[in-house]
Amino acid sequence: VDYKMIVYFYLSDSLILSSGLSHHYRFFSQSLTWTEAQAYCRQAQADLATVENSEDLNLLMNTLQSAGYSSDIWIGLYSEIDWKWSDAYTGTGADYRHWRSDLNEPEFESARQFCVKSGSGGNWWDDDCALNLPFICYSVLSVGTPESATFSLQNEQRNWSSAQSFCRENYVDLVTMKTDAENQILDNIIASSAWIGLYRDPNLFWSDGSDFLFSNWDSVINPIGS
């Protein structure tokens, strides 16, 4: 079986190529439970919002202000004994919090409040995950031009799903390629083969939620048959 095809069907081990990316927040006004909002974000964007620092929080608040909304929303933080982000991020900034500390948040009232909402002033409260609220998702954007984009080649051997988790925990995501110039940069980095963020489910998607607009399939064997 041709190896490039295996890369896109994530059936084998390979090197990992990740990219440095920034958050792009998007507000959704429909009210859903936390779990429903998580599923919606994962289908349509990347995940429920992760907030790694005060700059992210300001960006999130500006997104809400632009939408004319100033009340409570779900974000991606939840409790499973320890606080975790929905996208499994554990890198720099994963411990950032903006609790409403003057009201003793988080309080885990009645042992039911395991999901986090952001409210007035960007302050956070824990609340019942079954509560229906609007929510905010994030997708990810490449930082700068292709010439200044940050790519990191990881030599550790992993399958595609494990590589995706690794990149989301330590960077932002598996790499997305949007232009021939970016593809050429990666070609100069990769000596053999490396996982990228493209996958089929059943259509082709990028791991970070970007639209599939650019491709550079093997000229002999094309996995989509065109």
- 144-175 pLDDT, tens digit each: 444 445 677 777 788 888 888 877 766 667 88
Q: Distance (Å, rounded) from C-alpha 21 to C-alpha 116?
A: 24
Q: Distance (Å, rounded) from C-alpha 193 to C-alpha 160?
A: 12
Q: Distance (Å, rounded) from C-alpha 35 to C-alpha 48?
A: 10
Whole-number pLDDT of residue 22: 59
Which DSSP state fits 210? Answer: -
- 36-68 pLDDT, tens digit each: 999 988 876 678 999 999 989 998 999 999 889
Residue 219 tokens read as 């000229």
Q: What is the mean pLDDT of the chain?
A: 77
- 82-102 pLDDT, tens digit each: 899 998 888 888 899 999 877
Whole-number pLDDT of residue 222: 59
- 169-211 pLDDT, tens digit each: 666 678 888 777 777 777 777 767 888 888 887 788 888 777 7
Q: Distance (Å, rounded) from C-alpha 55 to C-alpha 65?
A: 15
